Structure 1
Amino acid sequence: MKKQRSLSLIVVGLSVSLVLGACGANDSANASGSSDASEVKTVGLVSDFSGIDDKSFNQAAWEGLQAWGKEHGMEKGIKGYDYIQAESASDYTMNLQTLSNNGFDTVVAMGFKLTEALTDVAPEYPETNFAIIDVEMPSMDNVASLVFKDNESAFLAGVAAGETTISNQVGFIGGQESEAVDRFEAGFIQGVKMSNPEAEVRVEYVGSFADSAKGKAIAAAMYTNGADVIYQAAGDSGNGVFSEAKDRMNAKPNEKLWVIGADRDQTEEGQYNDGSVTLTSTLKQTGNAIQDIANRSADGEFPGGEVLNYGLAEDGVGLTEGQLSEEALKKITEFKQQIIDETISIAEKPEN
C-alpha cells in the first residue's frame, strides 16, 4: 500500500505541476540564445509502472528530456516538459489522454506495454505527435517508432561475459518476455558463444520489470549453481540481481561475482563495501532519442509513420568500459567495428 500511495502522489504532483506550469512557464531565451522557449514544442512522457526512477530505461529517458528542456530554457510543467507515471497498466490510456488534453505537442509512450493504449489514443488526437519506444507502428501517421538495436549492445555484453567468466557459466535474467527483451537475450547469447564457445548460458525471466525480490531470488539460484557473471535486462527487477551479488560479495569478499547492467551506466547500483559488482553496462540512449524526436518536432519535421533505428552505428546503443580487462576491451572493440561495418549480423530472436 505504501508503494501505491507514493505512486498516486506522483500522478497528483503532475496535475499540480500542469496547473502551475500554465501560470509560470519560462519564456526566456535558452542558453545559446537561439530560440525562445515559447517557440519550442512541449514534450511529455508516459512511463510504465516500473517508474521514472527505475535506475534504467525510464530514468534514462526522463534525464534526457530534462536536459533537453533546460537547454531550451523550458521548465517542468504544461508549457515545457513533464511526465506521468502509471500506477498500473489500466492507467496507460488515461495518462496518454491527460498529456494530450493538456496540450503537449509531443507525447512519448515508454515501451511495448503501452502499445494497445497508444493504438486507441493516437487516432483521437491527430494533431498530437506521438512516439513509442521499441515498438514498430508504421501504419499510424502521427506516431514515430523509436527502435533500439539492443541486440547489438547485448552482443558486446556477451563478449564481455565470455571473456570474463572463470566458471564458464553465465546467466541472463530478463524482465518480461517480449520482442524488445528478445533482442537482449539473443544478442547476449550470440556474443558469449562467439567469444567463448565453452561457456554455458542460463536464461530465466522474472515475469515483471518491477519485482526486485524475484530478481534477487533468480540471481541467487544462478550464483549458487555456478554462474559468475549475470546480465540483467529486467528494469527495476534487475536491482534485485545487484542486491544478491553485493550480499554475496560482502559475505565472501574473495569470491568474484559480476553483474552486467542494462540501459544506463549502473556502476553505482553495483557499489558494495569493497568495490563494485558491475562489470560493465549496456547503454540504451533513450534520452538521446527523446531529444532527437523533440528537436524534429520543434523543427516541424516530426517523422510520423516512420521507424527510426538506433544502433551502434548511430550511437543509439553502446557498452561502458567498466571493469573489463584490456583483452576483453580489445575484442569488444573489434566486434563493435564488425557490427558497424555489417560484416557480422546479430540475431534479434533467441533460437528455440
Structure 2
Amino acid sequence: MRRVSSIAVAGIGIAALAFTTTACGGSSSDSKKDKGVAIAYDVGGRGDQSFNDAAYAGFVKAKKELGVKGDDIEPSEGESDADKVQRLTELAREGHNPVIAVGFVYAPAVKEVAKKYPKITFGLVDDDTVHMKNVVNMVFNEEQGSYLAGVAAALTTKSKTVGFVGGVENPLIKKFEAGYVQGVHDTDKSVKVKVQYLTQPPDYSGFKKPDSGKDTANGQLDGGADVIYQAAGDSGSGVIEAAATRGKWAIGVDSDQYTQKGLAKFKSKILASATKAVDEAVFNLVKSVKDGKPESGTVRYGLKTGGVGLADSNPAYQKMTKVVEAVETAKKKIISGEIKVKTTP
C-alpha cells in the first residue's frame, strides 16, 4: 500500500500536469496495468478518528476480504481544485480503478477527470452533483443519525443546555445541525442548543483545527452546556477532549468514536456517536468494480438500511434505559415516516 505525503502529492501534481500538457487529456486506453483501488482523502487526512478514518476502514476491509490492491493518498496543505484534478488524473492514468474521492470538496475535480477516463469508475463521497455514467455519488442521511443524537442529548443534559460544533458552515454540516436541533426540541422544547462553526467556506480548515474545536467547546461549556455534539472532522477531537476533561458529555460523529484508539483516554465521556457508513460505501463500490458490475449514479445510505445510526458502544449509555428506549422509538418513527427530519435548520 502506498500512502503519499503532502510532499509526494506535490510531485504527483507536477507529473500529472506534465502528462496533460503532452497528451492533451487522457483516456482509459492510456492506463497502465490495474493497480486496484485508490482513495484520495478529504481535508484533515487519515488519522482524524472520524470521516477519513471511516473511508480507510472500508479500504482495509476491501483489501482483506476481496484481495484487491490499492493506494491511499493524503491531501496537501491549502490545495486548490487544480491540485485535486492533478491528483485524480495521475491516479486514473496509473491504472487505479475505482478512484474514490472522499469529500464534497472533490466534486469539481471528479467532474473534470471522469470525462477523460470513461472506463474508470470514480466514487464521490458526500456529494450528489456529478451525474455521469462512471461516477458514483455516495450520500447519506446525516440528519437522521443527528436527530437520534439530539434525542439522546435532550434526555441526558442536566443543565438544559447542549451544544453543537460544526467544522465548516456549509450545506452538508448544516444537515447535522438541523437533525440534531430538531431531535433535541422534539424531545424537550425547554432545552437550549448553542450552535457554533469554526470556519466559513471557502476556508475548510475548520475540519482540521483540534485546538479551535477545544476552545469553542470550552466556550459552550462555560455557557452551561453539558452535552456537545460535533460534526467537525479532526477538529472534533478537540471538542471531545474539552468535554471529557471537564466531566461533561460529548457525542461523536461519522465513526464510532468510542472505539477509536486515538480518543481512548476520553472515551468514558463519549456518550454515543452519530455514525455514517462511509466504510460500507467504500467497500461496496470496490466490490462492485471487482465483480464487473460497477455501481453508477447516486447511492444513498439512510437509517432504514443502517447507513446512518447512533452507535451505543459506551456501557454508560447502555445503562440509560430511558434514553435507549427513546432513541429506539425515534428511529422506528423516522423509518416509518412518522417523523420527517429536516435537512436545513
- TM-score in terms of structure 2 length: 0.84
Return the offset for 1:142.
1.4
One-letter identity of the residue aligned with 2:207? F
SS at structure 2 position matched to 1:303: coil
- Give the counterpart letter for 2:161 in structure 1: Q
- 1:119 corresponds to which residue? 111
1:282 is matched with which residue: 274, 280, 284? 274
The reply on whether 1:82 has 2:71 as its aligned counterpart is yes
What is the SS of the residue equivalent to 1:98? helix
Distance, in Å, in 2 between the alignment partners of 1:278 and 1:9 is: 35
Question: Post-superposition shift, 1:317?
Answer: 0.9
What displacement does 1:52 show?
Answer: 1.4
Cα distance per residue 1:178-235 (max 9 Å; x no partner) = 2221211110001001111110111100111011111111001000010000000000
Could you tell me which runs of 5 or more consecutive residues in structure 1 were left unpaired when the two chains were aligned. Answer: 1-5, 16-38, 75-79, 250-256
The residue identity in structure 2 corresponding to 1:229 is V
2:12–2:90 contact (8 Å) kept in structure 1: no
**Matched-pair contact (CA < 8 Å) for 1:66–1:81:** no
Q: How many residues align?
A: 308
In structure 2, C-alpha distance between the alignment counterparts of 1:204 and 1:49, rounded to whole Å = 19
Partner of 1:110: 102
Q: Does 1:244 align with 2:242?
A: yes
**Secondary structure at the counterpart of residue 162 of structure 2:** strand
Compute the displacement of 1:155 (Å): 0.3
CA distance in 2, matches of 1:347, 1:153: 12
**Taking every aligned residue pair, what percent have the same amino acid on both sides?**
36
What corresponds to 1:233 in structure 2? 231
Shift of 1:11: 4.5
> Residue 165 in 1 paired to residue 157 in 2?
yes
Please give the residue correspondences for 1:125-274 in structure 2 after superposition, counting only pairs within 5 Å: 125-137=117-129, 139-207=131-199, 208-249=206-247, 257-267=248-258, 268=260, 271-272=264-265
Preserved contact between residue 228 and residue 249 of structure 2 (Cα < 8 Å)? yes
- The answer to whether the 8 Å contact 1:246/1:270 transfers is no
RMSD (CA atoms): 2.2
- 2:38 is the counterpart of 1:49: no
Instruction: Give distance in 2, aligned partners of 1:51 and 1:70.
Output: 22
**Secondary structure of 2:45's aligned partner:** coil
Change in Cα spacing, 1:40 to 1:190, as seen in structure 2 (3 Å) is: farther
Deviation at 1:138, TM superposition (A): 5.0
Alpha-carbon distance in structure 1 between the residues aligned to 2:7 and 2:240:
28
Q: Distance in 2 between matches of 1:246 and 1:344?
A: 32
| Contact 1:14-1:82 within 8 A present in 2 as well | no
Change (3 A) 1:219 1:141: same
Change (3 A) 1:312 1:133: same
Answer whether contact 1:41 1:294 (CA < 8 A) is retained: no
1:334 aligns with 2:332: no
* CA shift for structure 1 position 289: 0.6
Contact persistence 2:34–2:97 (CA under 8 A): no
What is the rounded CA distance, in whole Å, between the counterparts of 1:317 and 1:68 in structure 2? 20
Instruction: Give distance in 2, aligned partners of 1:320 and 1:211.
Output: 24
CA distance in structure 1 between the partners assigned to 2:285 and 2:102 by the alignment: 13
Inter-partner Cα distance in structure 1 for 2:64 and 2:142: 28
C-alpha deviations, 1:69-93, integer Å up to 9, x for none? Answer: 111223xxxxx12111111332322
C-alpha contact 2:122 2:136 (8 A) present in aligned 1 = yes
**In 2, distance between residues paired with 1:263 and 1:103?**
30
Q: Separation in 1 of the partners of 2:168 and 2:74?
A: 19
CA contact (8 A) 2:35 2:95 kept: no
Alpha-carbon distance in 2 for matches of 1:341, 1:13: 51
Compute the displacement of 1:177 (Å).
1.7
| Over 3 Å off, 4+ runs | 9-15, 268-273
SS of residue paired to 1:206: strand
Q: Deviations over 1:120-152 (max 9, x none)?
A: 211121111001011113532211111111111
Query: 1: distance between equivalents of 2:8 and 2:232?
Result: 23
Structure-2 separation of matches of 1:291 and 1:40: 18
The whole-number CA distance in structure 2 between the counterparts of 1:217 and 1:231 is: 14
User: 1:117, CA displacement in angstroms?
Assistant: 1.5
Out of 240-249 and 119-128, give the one that drifted further: 240-249
CA contact (8 A) 2:35 2:94 kept: no
